[in-house]
Amino acid sequence: MLWASERRAHDVGFERRNRDEWSLATTLDDAELTVTTEQTPVDAPWQTDAR
């Protein structure tokens, strides 16, 4: 499932779910879909300063 918050999403096949929410059902083997993974390091909560 792909989600978007721009009205232009309708132009490429997304369906409106809520006022500013659009969705499109798809599968991972879709030839036009490129999937990338990005990992962002996040500090453990117990290692951050509580101020």
Report if residue 20 sits inside a domain: yes
Q: Assess whether pLDDT exceeds 80 at residue 19.
A: yes
The total of structural domains in the chain comes to: 1
Print the domain residue range for 20. Answer: 1-28
Give the three-state DSSP class for 51: coil
Reported pTM: 0.53
Letter for the amino acid at 11? Answer: D
pLDDT of residue 7: 87
Greater confidence (48 vs 45) lies with 45
Question: Which pLDDT band, with edges at 50, 70 and 90, does 21 fall under?
Answer: very high
**C-alpha dihedral sign at 9, 10, 15, 18:** positive
Identify the band that residue 50 occupies on the pLDDT scale cut at 50, 70 and 90: low
Is 6 domain-assigned? yes
Token couple for 2: 């792909």
What amino acid is encoded at 15 in this protein? E
Q: Is residue 1 part of a domain?
A: yes
Q: Is residue 50 part of a domain?
A: no
Domain membership of residue 33 (yes or no) is: no
**Secondary-structure breakdown of the chain: helix, strand, coil percentages, each rounded to the nearest 5:** 20, 20, 60
A 10 A CB-CB count for 12 gives: 10
